[in-house]
C-alpha cells in the first residue's frame, strides 16, 4: 500500500486556487469545525502558536474526518522537527524564514528520504506509515510531500529566483508582515514598497513554474491575489474569526438593550 495522495499537491499541479485558514488556538475541536466549514486547507501553526507535537497529532486526526487538507507550519526548518511532523502524518509543511537557495535546499533534503534527502527512516513506527500497515510508505512518500517555503525577508526578495528554482520546492509562500518589517516598514503591509515586493515575488515564482501563496486578513485583497495567480490564499485565522464573531454578537445583544421595552 502506497502513501496516500496529497490533495493539495495534486490541485496545485492542476492550476487550481486553494483557500485556507490558520489554526492558532491549538484545539482539535476548532480544527474540526474549521475543516468542516469549507476551507480547502487548514494550517496547524507551530511557529506562533503553543502547539506541542501531541496537539499537532490531535489536530491532524481532527482534520482527517473533514474535507480540508492539513498543513503544518514548523517553527524552524531543522531536520529534527520536520522529521517528527512528517512522521505524525503531515504531507504538506510550511518552513518559515527561507532566505536563499541554500536554506531552501536544506528544507527539501529534510522532507525526503535517502538517497534524495536526509529524512530518518522511522515512519513504520508512526502515524504516517499507519504504524507499519502502509508497507510501501517509505518508497512512495517523497512524491506526496508538498514543501511550502516562506519568503518573508528582504534577503528572500533578493534571492527569489534562486529560491523558486530550487528543485523540490512546491510553493513559495509570502509572509507579508515579516516581509514589511524586514524591509523597514514595520506593520505597513500596504506600503508601496511592500506591495511591489509581493508583486515581484509572485511573478518570479510563477515564472519558475511554482505555485505562490500568501495570507491576508483583509477580505478586499482576496480578489486581487486571486487575479495575480496565487495558488494558495490564507484568508484569516481561527482566533481572529472567533474574536470578530464574538464582538459582532456583543453588538447585536447591545442593540437590544437600546430598544424600548
Instruction: Using CB atoms within 10 Å of the CB of residue 217, give its burial: 0 to 12 exposed, 13 to 18 middle, 19+ buried.
Output: middle
Q: Which residue has the cell 527539501?
A: 108
| Residue 200 annotated to the active site | no
C-alpha to C-alpha distance for 120 and 118, rounded to whole angstroms: 6
Set 48, 99, 158, 191: catalytic member: 48
What is the total residue count of the chain?
261
Q: How many CB atoms are closer than 10 A to CB 148?
A: 25
The answer to whether 166 and 34 have CB atoms below 8 angstroms apart is: no
> Where are the alpha helices (H) located in the chain, listed in sequence order?
7-13, 28-36, 53-64, 79-87, 101-110, 137-140, 154-158, 160-165, 176-182, 192-207, 219-228, 238-258
The answer to whether 28 and 62 have CB atoms below 8 angstroms apart is: yes
List active site positions: 48
Amino acid at each position: 500500500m502506497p502513501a496516500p495522495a496529497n490533495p493539495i499537491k495534486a490541485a496545485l499541479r492542476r492550476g487550481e486556487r486553494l483557500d485556507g485558514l490558520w489554526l492558532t488556538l491549538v484545539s482539535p475541536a476548532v480544527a474540526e469545525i474549521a475543516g468542516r466549514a469549507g476551507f480547502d486547507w487548514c494550517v496547524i501553526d507551530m511557529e506562533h502558536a503553543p502547539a506541542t507535537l501531541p496537539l499537532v497529532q490531535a489536530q491532524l486526526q481532527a482534520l482527517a474526518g473533514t474535507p480540508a487538507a492539513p498543513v503544518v507550519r514548523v517553527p524552524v526548518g531543522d531536520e529534527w522537527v520536520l522529521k517528527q511532523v512528517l512522521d505524525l502524518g503531515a504531507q504538506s509543511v510550511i518552513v518559515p524564514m527561507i532566505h536563499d537557495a541554500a536554506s531552501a535546499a536544506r528544507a527539501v533534503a529534510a522532507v525526503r528520504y535517502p538517497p534524495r534527502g536526509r529524512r530518518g527512516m522511522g515512519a513504520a513506527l508512526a502515524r504516517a506509515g499507519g504504524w507499519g500497515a502502509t508497507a510501501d510508505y517509505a518508497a512512495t512518500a517523497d512524491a506526496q510531500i508538498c514543501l511550502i517555503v516562506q519568503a518573508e525577508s528582504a534577503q528572500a526578495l533578493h534571492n527569489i529566483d534562486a529560491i523558486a528554482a530550487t528543485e523540490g520546492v512546491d510553493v513559495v509562500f509570502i509572509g507579508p508582515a515579516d516581509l514589511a518589517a524586514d524591509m523597514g516598514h514595520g506593520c505597513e503591509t500596504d506600503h508601496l514598497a511592500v506591495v511591489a515586493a509581493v508583486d515581484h515575488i509572485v511573478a518570479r515564482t510563477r515564472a519558475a513554474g511554482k505555485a505562490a501563496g500568501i495570507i491576508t486578513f483583509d477580505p478586499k485583497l482576496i480578489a486581487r491575489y486571486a487575479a495575480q495567480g496565487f495558488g494558495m490564499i490564507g484568508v484569516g485565522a481561527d482566533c481572529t474569526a472567533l474574536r470578530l464573531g464574538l464582538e459582532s454578537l456583543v453588538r447585536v445583544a447591545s442593540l437590544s438593550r437600546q430598544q424600548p421595552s
